[in-house]
Chains A and B, each alone.
Chain A
Amino acid sequence: MFDFDFKIVTEWLHALLTGVMPEWAAILTESILVALAIITLYAVFAIVLIYMERKVCAAFQCRLGPMRVGPWGTLQVFGDVFKMLTKEIINLRKTDMFLHNLAPFLVVTASMTTFACLPWNKGAQIIDFNVGIFFFLAISSLGVVGILLAGWSSNNKYSLIGAMRSGAQIISYELSIGMTMLTMICLTGTMSFSEICAQQAAEGWNIFRGHIPAVIAFVIYLIAGNAECNRGPFDLPECESELTAGYHTEYSGMHFGYYYLAEYLNLFICAGMASTIFLGGWAPLVIPGLEGFNEVMACIPGAVWFVGKTFFVVFLLMWLRWTFPRLRIDQILSLEWKYLVPLSMINLVLMALVIAYGLHF
């Protein structure tokens, strides 16, 4: 089951479509199918994540969370989503209408494009080429443009302050994300997600292969990733107590919904990247010497491994969020520039030394 290559399905589909229509039409149809699949997945994961967030948050605060709508409150999120879909999108006077309406789409497009980079299974990857990680980093920073535009075009000082904070924070933390990724690229020697996963399936997860520097990189990645998603303790771009809702104060209806969606999906993407780069992506857990155990692990499909690992990392990020109080903007910037950047630089050198002397597994 583990060796199931998703390419079989895609190639079969391609052969089927080219049989009845010209090549270009077949590729167009496939693109539309893939887009539909990814948008559906996007919505489903958003719903699952919002439900999980509410339940996990409640558990950390010694509560039960939503319990009334449906068994264990499972229908609550559907109710919220339909409410959001039916609400009016209010246009405000004296806002820059074009940019105001464009900004949520920029955010959600950036988020969906990075979502497409995730390796779901062997051969089940939508965007995959030799500089995958580079592409991922580039596209994920597109979202900050949307946030800045939202703050600027809203004609509201709170929105603008929120957007500026968000911009400062995301641009700063991108540095340590890039640095930790560079550390892991040192180890893998490739930037393509499919090759990184295949390598980890063959030789073991990167976090075990790279041991000490990989664990440090993982921790730094989690902190910086949390900041990239604008989530607590780094959620001051939208802190309720000072800035009402930050950059999306002036948005209503589904335009606000896009920010909401993108926030949760960015959490998923951040966790998915962590599981791809550090925890092996769709590669099962292999312990050398325990053949029976390895056999059992190999029976679990790769997609289940990937989603399972991602949700594990999501849980770690939620644990962080619901434990620590919000930081001030100067504390956020000093954490990044005075602690995380030097640490990740030292870590990069450490990783380089480990590889140069062949100390990795």
Chain B
Amino acid sequence: MNEEKNYIEGLLGGIRTLCVGLKTSMREFFTKKITEQYPENRNELQMFERFRGSLTMPHNENNEHKCIACGLCQMACPNGSINVVSEMVETEDGKKKKQLVRYEYNLGCCMFCQLCTRACAHGAISFDQSFENAVFDRAKLVKVLNQPGSKVVEKKVVKKPEPAAAPAAEAKA
């Protein structure tokens, strides 16, 4: 008797699960298709947000970036595709300060692991969604990310000393 019960239950359960599968695929049939018609929709094509195209250093409207030339990204990069060239300058109040001269990024040996953007404490570098990176000469893959004449965003002068994390957050805002 138990065997017959199992047979019937198995049959009905099987039919039910098959119907669930059919329902799922029918829903998929009517969803919007994800295929991109690439060269035709080149103008309106939007890559998804987490796509890693190439490394960029965002600048604000005053031609200022957030890089303090600490070199953490260079150290984090397993392929050595980042080279931070910096110089020491003396500020008005007599303090010595490191300043970014050139931020060289070699797209050709980047493996898009995002270790550099994770290492950056100031959020100075990020990956954009550009993917048309093909060039005819390998030398063109070495890019200088800081724009000419740009400088680092100056921290606002505050009276009392803030905790370490605050300036970064402020700079972001």
Using CB atoms and an 8 Å cutoff, list the residues of chain A in contact with chain B: 58-64, 67, 319-320, 322-324, 338-339
Minimum CB distance partner of A68 in chain B? B37
The 8 Å CB contact of A322, one of B25, B31, B33, B37, is: B25
B21 at the interface (CB under 8 A from A): yes
Evaluate contact between A319 and B28: CB separation under 8 angstroms.
Answer: no
Given contacts A324-B18, A339-B11, contact A64 B35 (CB under 8 A): yes
Show 22 residue pairs from A and B whose CB-CB distance is below 8 angstroms, ordered by the A residue. Answer: A58-B33, A59-B29, A59-B33, A60-B25, A60-B28, A61-B28, A62-B28, A62-B33, A63-B33, A63-B35, A64-B33, A67-B35, A67-B37, A319-B22, A319-B25, A319-B29, A320-B22, A322-B25, A323-B21, A323-B25, A324-B21, A338-B7
How far is A125 from B155 in the complex, measured between Cα atoms in Å? 88
Which A residues touch B31, using CB under 8 A? 62
How far is A66 from B160 in the complex, measured between Cα atoms in Å? 66
The 8 Å CB contact of A60, one of B11, B18, B29, B35, is: B29
How far is A61 from B26 in the complex, measured between Cα atoms in Å? 10
6 closest residue pairs by CB, A with B: A323-B25, A64-B35, A323-B21, A59-B29, A64-B33, A63-B35
A273, chain B: closest CB distance, angstroms: 22
The 8 Å CB contact of B26, one of A58, A62, A319, is: A319
Interface SS, B side? helix
Which A residues touch B34, using CB under 8 A? 62-63
Chain B: how many interface residues by the 8 Å CB criterion?
Answer: 15
How far is A322 from B21 in the complex, measured between Cα atoms in Å? 10
Which A residues touch B33, using CB under 8 A? 58-59, 62-64
Using CB atoms and an 8 Å cutoff, list the residues of chain B in contact with chain A: 7, 11, 18, 21-22, 24-26, 28-29, 31, 33-35, 37
Minimum CB distance partner of B35 in chain A? A64
Q: Name 9 extra pairs, CB < 8 A, besides A319-B25, A339-B11.
A: A59-B33, A62-B31, A62-B33, A63-B33, A63-B35, A323-B24, A323-B25, A324-B18, A338-B7
How far is A62 from B30 in the complex, measured between Cα atoms in Å? 8
How far is A58 from B33 in the complex, measured between Cα atoms in Å? 9
The 8 Å CB contact of B22, one of A61, A67, A323, A338, is: A323
A234, chain B: closest CB distance, angstroms: 14
B52, chain A: closest CB distance, angstroms: 23
How far is A338 from B6 in the complex, measured between Cα atoms in Å? 13
How far is A67 from B29 in the complex, measured between Cα atoms in Å? 17
Which B residues touch A338, using CB under 8 A? 7
Minimum CB distance partner of A61 in chain B? B28
Minimum CB distance partner of B18 in chain A? A324
B80, chain A: closest CB distance, angstroms: 39
A233, chain B: closest CB distance, angstroms: 10
Which B residues touch A323, using CB under 8 A? 21-22, 24-25
Minimum CB distance partner of B7 in chain A? A338
How far is A11 from B109 in the complex, measured between Cα atoms in Å? 78
Minimum CB distance partner of B36 in chain A? A64
Which B residues touch A58, using CB under 8 A? 33
Which A residues touch B11, using CB under 8 A? 339
Minimum CB distance partner of A323 in chain B? B25
Minimum CB distance partner of B40 in chain A? A67
Name which of B18, B25, B26 has the most chain A CB atoms within 10 A of its CB. Answer: B25
How far is A351 from B8 in the complex, measured between Cα atoms in Å? 21
B7, chain A: closest CB distance, angstroms: 8
Which A residues touch B26, using CB under 8 A? 319
Minimum CB distance partner of B24 in chain A? A323
Which B residues touch A320, using CB under 8 A? 22
A90, chain B: closest CB distance, angstroms: 35
A45, chain B: closest CB distance, angstroms: 23
A164, chain B: closest CB distance, angstroms: 26
Which A residues touch B25, using CB under 8 A? 60, 319, 322-323
Name which of B18, B22, B29, B35 has the most chain A CB atoms within 10 A of its CB. Answer: B29
How far is A305 from B21 in the complex, measured between Cα atoms in Å? 30
A68, chain B: closest CB distance, angstroms: 9
B10, chain A: closest CB distance, angstroms: 9
B41, chain A: closest CB distance, angstroms: 12
Minimum CB distance partner of B32 in chain A? A62
Which B residues touch A67, using CB under 8 A? 35, 37
How far is A361 from B21 in the complex, measured between Cα atoms in Å? 33
Minimum CB distance partner of B33 in chain A? A64
Which B residues touch A319, using CB under 8 A? 22, 25-26, 29
How far is A221 from B11 in the complex, measured between Cα atoms in Å? 17
Which A residues touch B37, using CB under 8 A? 64, 67
How far is A324 from B26 in the complex, measured between Cα atoms in Å? 12
Minimum CB distance partner of A339 in chain B? B11
